[in-house]
Homo-oligomer: A and B are copies of this chain.
Amino acid sequence: MPRPETPLLTVDVIIELLERPGEVVFIERRNEPLGLALPGGFVDRGETVTAAAVREAREETGLDVTLEGMLGVYSDPGRDPRGHTASIVFVGRASGEPRAGDDAGGVRVMPPDKAQELVFDHARIIEDYLSTGEVRFEPPFVR
A21 at the interface (CB under 8 A from B): no
Which residues of A, 1-37, contact B by the 8 Å Cβ criterion? 1, 3-10
Among the 9-residue stretches A41-49, A59-67, A92-100, A108-116, the one with 4 or more Cβ atoms under 8 Å from chain B is A41-49
Give the nearest-CB partner of A80 in chain B: B1
**For the complex formed by this chain, how many copies does it contain in all?**
2
Interface size on A, residues (CB 8 A): 43
Assuming A139-B128, A141-B73, A141-B128, is B45 touching A7 (CB within 8 A)? yes
B73 to A143, Cβ gap below 8 A? Answer: yes
Assuming A121-B143, A139-B134, is B72 touching A48 (CB within 8 A)? no
Give the nearest-CB partner of A88 in chain B: B73
8 contacts between A and B (CB under 8 A): A1-B82, A7-B45, A8-B9, A43-B75, A71-B141, A73-B142, A75-B142, A135-B139
B6 to A10, Cβ gap below 8 A? Answer: yes
Assuming A48-B77, A77-B45, is B5 touching A71 (CB within 8 A)? no
Assuming A8-B4, A42-B6, A73-B73, is B128 touching A132 (CB within 8 A)? no
B45 to A143, Cβ gap below 8 A? Answer: no
B43 to A7, Cβ gap below 8 A? Answer: yes
